[in-house]
């Protein structure tokens, strides 16, 4: 265990509470946490004898877990970016600073010093809306209650839940009741049919152990994979879910009352809050657009969101109405980005130091080509539970949680630096100013939500996915990729083997559409991408992406699945007659290939009208079958002879069915045979993204160009 993640002193303080721990106790705790992964029962007994021989070591300890619930409902309750930004910042502050202060942590701006301070205070992690820490056993439940109160005190309306369990020192390393039930008991019980299935469901197989393998070695690996610190975390997650959903059985005695959920009664004579529409308004905000009437919870969001962005608008409307004050705030995401080593190319560009954060999505949309389009990217890690589930002790758990957060931040920062630059815009007052054309709403754990210019969204998402998987991957080259794109893309996808994948949903839409609506669509697309990632996990182990370009809000009036089934023939149960007029979702390698294909068509100035004509031609396949559309496509390719070589080289050649051997025709163009039944085509996807793909320059190229002009 490294000193940075050495929780022995903090655990010893909890065990010895209210006394101070001795060095002997600290050494024993360290010995227990560093014990081997698969000890015998005799070894456990000897370890327990040592524990009982040292004063304080046999005392119980509390493990406290909590966090915000229904986060998206709170953050995206308001339609405007400043309020959304403020809500996200409030939750981040409570999670990272407010809760840590309950444990006595004093955090600054240095990430490494903060990490050491969290370890000193017994905090395993405080990020991504979740919090896990040790506490003295007598204070466990009180600390859990304090977590819920802190969220309520700061946000007024955000919901939260927190739970605590009491365990022993040896359980911190080997899970629940290791002395009462150990590996030999498990192997014996698995030989009894009446017990085996339930046990095998709980003790799930680790990697490289087949689910049907019932050998003694396989059963032992199942058991030791489960019996660790992570078993306690799983129990806490279960209790957290029960408290969040109010599932405590009434007949069971409980030391705690049910959660007190915030509620503000809206009486018939009350004026509604302009942003939430569900709470009574109590304050007017004259400096804000349209002088809205706001509830206190919405006013806090608006105040914090504008204060953090150094909005020039007067803020006295808030400070005169409420006694609540903004605490010293950590760095904003923009400052973290500009000060990060990975952002040096962006920070070195002209105007980067003069540029201000974008005040609303309209300013971000001005950086897009075509203008007035934004892209909302919602990314989330795959296989995170499996990755965290193999941890053996608190230090290893904290180390992996920190690695996930660090990888997420570096993936976002490197992608923004590569594809964006400060942009001159015209603000609401009609004045020209330079802004940073992005908004990071959250980077927590393995979750990322950000808003970027529409024409940069797919490139940024691709760079994020590749960077995250490389940072969280194995440096060993991955086996040959098996997906639908077989073209040459260099070694960006093959120089590592992903251990934790990243999937994303991306919506490109006009800037005036409600952000909560775009977030809902992005969440649906993310689920679609994750499904493909699971289906392809054995082939490449990485993540996937699904996307949509929304030209008007009337395009989607229901779920995306329903829309695609009707408009694109995207049947959940394809048959041989299914002609699926899309190939989404894509793996990251396939998306890179799709963007490469789109840019190849742009370089030869392939007419956009022909793209739309080809897309319309595919629609007829639903009634007449694929043969007619294929003949029309081949006739069109023959007629457009100047583009024939490009189509053969960049479309028909590299795009093949997943199961098609290299060099064998993938099907009749423009169709690809699906892995199961039916056909699909990339052409509608090319038509949809064509105007939102820029040839562009990377950050390094822009910097060299500016230096040359200086």
Residues forming CATH 3.30.70.270 domain(s) in the chain: 333-692
Which residue carries 């619930």 as its tokens?
A: 69
Question: Is 552 exposed, middle or buried (CB count within 10 Å of its CB: 0-12, 13-18, 19+)?
Answer: exposed
Question: Is 525 exposed, middle or buried (CB count within 10 Å of its CB: 0-12, 13-18, 19+)?
Answer: buried
Task: Give me the mean pLDDT over the 80-89 stretch.
Answer: 92
Q: Which residues pair with 375 in a beta bridge?
A: 452, 508
Q: Two tokens at 117?
A: 């301070």
Radius of gyration of the chain (CA): 28
Q: Two tokens at 652?
A: 């028909």
User: Is the pLDDT confidence value at 630 over 50?
Assistant: yes
The rounded Cα 621 to chain-centroid distance in angstroms is: 38
Per-residue confidence band for 252, with pLDDT thresholds at 50, 70 and 90: very low
Which residue carries 């060099």 as its tokens?
A: 663
Strand order in the sheet with 130-136: 123-127, 130-136, 61-69, 159-167
Q: Two tokens at 619?
A: 């629609």
Question: Is 364 exposed, middle or buried (CB count within 10 Å of its CB: 0-12, 13-18, 19+)?
Answer: buried
Q: Which helix H or strand E contains 614, and what residues bound it?
A: helix 608-619
The CB density around residue 610, as the number of other CB atoms within 10 Å, is 16
Contact 373, 451 (CB under 8 A): no
Per-residue confidence band for 69, with pLDDT thresholds at 50, 70 and 90: very high
**CA–CA gap between residue 382 and residue 502 (Å, rounded):** 6
The DSSP call for residue 427 is: -
**CA–CA gap between residue 239 and residue 233 (Å, rounded):** 10
**Is the model's pTM score more than 0.85?**
yes
More confident residue, 544 or 345: 544
333-692 folds as Alpha-Beta Plaits (3.30.70)
Query: Residue 452: its pLDDT value, please?
Result: 98
List the single range of 252-266, 401-415, 441-455 with lowest mean pLDDT.
252-266
The CB density around residue 131, as the number of other CB atoms within 10 Å, is 28
Collapse the DSSP code of 706 into the 3-class scheme (helix H, G, I; strand E, B; otherwise coil) and give the result: helix
**CA–CA gap between residue 478 and residue 495 (Å, rounded):** 7
Query: Residue 100: its pLDDT value, please?
Result: 95
At the second CATH level, the architecture of 3-73+97-174+232-244 is 2-Layer Sandwich (3.30)
Q: Two tokens at 195?
A: 């017990």
First vs last C-alpha separation in the chain: 51
Query: Residue 266: its pLDDT value, please?
Result: 85
Per-residue confidence band for 248, with pLDDT thresholds at 50, 70 and 90: low
Query: Residue 187: its pLDDT value, please?
Result: 95
Contact 160, 66 (CB under 8 A): yes
Short-list 299, 252, 238, CA closest to 273: 299
Task: Give me the mean pLDDT over the 500-505 stretch.
Answer: 95
More confident residue, 165 or 572: 165
Q: Given its phi and psi angles, is residue 70 left (phi above 0), alpha (psi -120 to 50 degrees) or beta?
A: left
Contact 147, 82 (CB under 8 A): no
């Amino acid at each position: 265990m490294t000193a940075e993640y050495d929780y022995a002193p903090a655990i010893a303080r909890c065990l010895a509470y209210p006394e101070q721990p001795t060095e002997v106790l600290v050494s024993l705790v360290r010995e227990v946490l560093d014990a081997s992964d698969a000890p015998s029962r005799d070894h456990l007994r000897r370890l327990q004898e040592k524990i009982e021989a040292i004063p304080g070591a046999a005392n119980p300890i509390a493990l406290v877990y909590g966090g915000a619930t229904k986060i998206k409902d709170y953050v995206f309750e308001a339609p405007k970016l400043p309020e959304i930004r403020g809500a996200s910042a409030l939750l981040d502050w409570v999670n990272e600073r407010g809760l840590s202060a309950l444990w006595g942590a004093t955090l600054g701006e240095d990430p490494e010093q903060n990490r050491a301070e969290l370890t000193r205070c017994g905090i395993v992690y405080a990020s991504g809306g979740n919090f896990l820490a040790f506490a003295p056993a007598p204070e466990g439940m009180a600390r859990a209650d304090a977590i819920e109160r802190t969220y309520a005190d700061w946000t007024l309306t955000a919901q939260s839940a927190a739970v605590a369990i009491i365990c022993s020192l040896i359980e911190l390393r080997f899970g629940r009741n290791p002395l009462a039930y150990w590996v030999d008991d498990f192997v014996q019980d698995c030989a009894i049919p009446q017990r085996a299935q339930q046990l095998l469901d709980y003790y799930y197989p680790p990697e490289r152990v087949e689910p049907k393998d019932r050998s003694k070695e396989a059963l032992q690996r199942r058991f030791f994979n489960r019996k660790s610190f992570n078993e306690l975390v799983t129990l806490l997650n279960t209790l957290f879910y029960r408290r969040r959903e109010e599932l405590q059985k009434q007949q069971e005695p409980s030391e705690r009352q049910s959660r007190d959920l915030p509620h503000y009664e809206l009486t018939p004579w009350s004026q509604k809050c302009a942003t939430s529409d569900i709470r009574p308004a109590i304050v007017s905000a004259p400096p804000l657009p349209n002088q809205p009437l706001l509830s206190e919870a919405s006013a806090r969001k608006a105040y914090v969101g504008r204060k953090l962005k150094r909005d020039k608008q007067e803020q006295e409307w808030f400070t005169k109405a409420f006694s609540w004050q903004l605490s010293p705030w950590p760095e904003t995401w923009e400052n973290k980005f500009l000060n990060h080593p990975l952002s040096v190319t962006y920070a070195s560009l002209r105007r980067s130091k003069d540029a201000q954060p974008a005040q609303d999505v309209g300013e971000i949309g001005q950086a897009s080509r075509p203008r007035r389009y934004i892209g909302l990217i919602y990314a989330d890690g795959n296989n995170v539970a499996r990755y965290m589930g193999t941890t053996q002790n608190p230090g290893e758990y904290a180390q992996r949680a920190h690695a996930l957060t660090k990888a997420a931040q570096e993936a976002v920062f490197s992608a923004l630096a590569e594809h964006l630059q400060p942009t001159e815009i015209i603000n609401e007052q009609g004045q020209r100013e330079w802004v940073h054309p992005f908004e990071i709403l959250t980077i927590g754990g393995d979750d990322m939500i950000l808003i970027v210019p529409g024409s940069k969204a797919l490139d940024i998402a691709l760079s994020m996915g590749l960077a995250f998987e490389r940072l969280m991957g194995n440096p060993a080259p991955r086996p040959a990729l098996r997906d639908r794109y077989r073209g040459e893309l260099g070694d960006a996808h093959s120089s590592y083997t992903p251990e934790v994948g990243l999937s994303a949903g991306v919506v490109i839409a006009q800037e005036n559409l409600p952000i909560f609506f775009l977030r809902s669509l992005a969440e649906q697309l993310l689920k679609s991408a994750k499904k493909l990632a699971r289906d392809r996990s054995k082939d490449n182990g990485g993540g996937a992406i699904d996307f949509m370009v929304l030209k008007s809000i009337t395009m989607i009036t229901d779920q995306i699945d329903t829309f695609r089934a009707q408009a694109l023939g995207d049947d959940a149960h394809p048959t041989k007659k299914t002609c699926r007029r899309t190939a989404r979702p894509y793996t990251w390698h396939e998306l890179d290939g799709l963007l490469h294909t789109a840019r190849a068509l742009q370089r030869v100035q392939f007419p956009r009208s022909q793209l739309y004509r080809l897309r319309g031609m595919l629609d007829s396949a639903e009634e007449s079958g694929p043969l007619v559309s294929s003949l029309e496509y081949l006739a069109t390719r023959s007629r457009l002879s100047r583009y024939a070589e490009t189509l053969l080289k960049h479309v028909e050649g590299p795009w093949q069915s997943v199961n098609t051997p290299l060099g064998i025709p993938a099907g009749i163009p423009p169709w690809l045979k699906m892995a199961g039944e039916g056909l699909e085509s990339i052409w509608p996807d090319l038509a949809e993204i064509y105007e939102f793909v820029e040839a562009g320059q990377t950050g390094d190229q822009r910097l060299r160009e500016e230096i040359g002009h200086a």
